[in-house]
Amino acid sequence: MIAVGSGKGGVGKTTVSVNLAIALSKLGYRTGLLDADVYGPNIPLMLGIQQQPYAVENRIIPLEKEGLKLMSMGFLNPGDKPLIWRGPMLHSVIGQFLRGTEWGELDYLVIDLPPGTGDVQLSLIQTAPLTGAIVVTTPSDVSLEDARKAVNMFRQVRVPILGFVENMSYLIAPQSGERIDVFGTGGGRRTAEAMEVHFLGELPLDPQIRIGGDTGHAVAWRGEQDGAAAGFYRMAREAAQRAEASAAESGPSITIED
């Protein structure tokens, strides 16, 4: 169970979660993707899915796309209607998504957390033991300040940090091929080193990644040889290795049951 979090919004955390889950699935792992961002569920849009799940004997049957199992509040509450819920309701729905969903046998469950360090994160940690967490940031100092808080939150609740991902690290100018450091440079790596967190790498600010998410055709579906998708596959392979090592240290694998 890999949680993908960030200290603030706008850093591309859901983009990383979606493409990480797709890459793991296409690498041959049985993978599920849980959208735990209850207030802002974007995974249905990013995967181009508008169906609603159904229940069998009081258990939710997750939707699937090319073998990737999916669950999101966006499937149950589509459109622009907001959810105005307090903490106890959030705890209940996170528990239902984890324990009341027929995930079947999975190698990995990628969990896209909402930004920040609030109720959903704590509810998730209380509901099921996480194998580890990935923290997403951009190179900017504003983003890094909040990312450090996310790292410290996971450490306080004893969730291993699998690594730091620096998203939107740079832009390659289409005409000249020049690298442009839109949000600064090297901040993610320096912060990871200072906090003694593994650095999983840089992901570019690439229009193809944005277009893929907006149109429901995430770039990782294109495969490992695609230039825009390659970084996500490198990250997925390394994250999988670190997750397996973390799981081995913590003992036998956990099955989510009622």
Amino acid identity for residue 112 in this structure? D
Beta strands 31-35; 171-172: pairing state: unpaired
Mean of the per-residue pLDDT values for the chain?
Answer: 88
pTM of model > 0.85:
yes
pLDDT band at residue 101 under the 50/70/90 scheme: very high
167, 134 contact by CB (below 8 A): no
When pLDDT is cut at 50, 70 and 90, the band that residue 47 belongs to is very high
| 39 or 154: which leads in pLDDT | 154
Place of tokens 């890999």: 2
Domain ranges of the chain: 2-250
**The predicted structure's pLDDT at residue 80:** 61
According to the model, what pLDDT value does residue 189 have? 94
Q: Which three-class secondary structure state does DSSP give residue 10?
A: coil
CA distance 147 to 133: 12
pLDDT digits (tens, 9 = 90+) for 111-125: 999 887 777 777 777
CATH topology classification for 2-250: Rossmann fold (3.40.50)
Cross-strand bridge partners of residue 68: 65
3-class SS at 4? strand
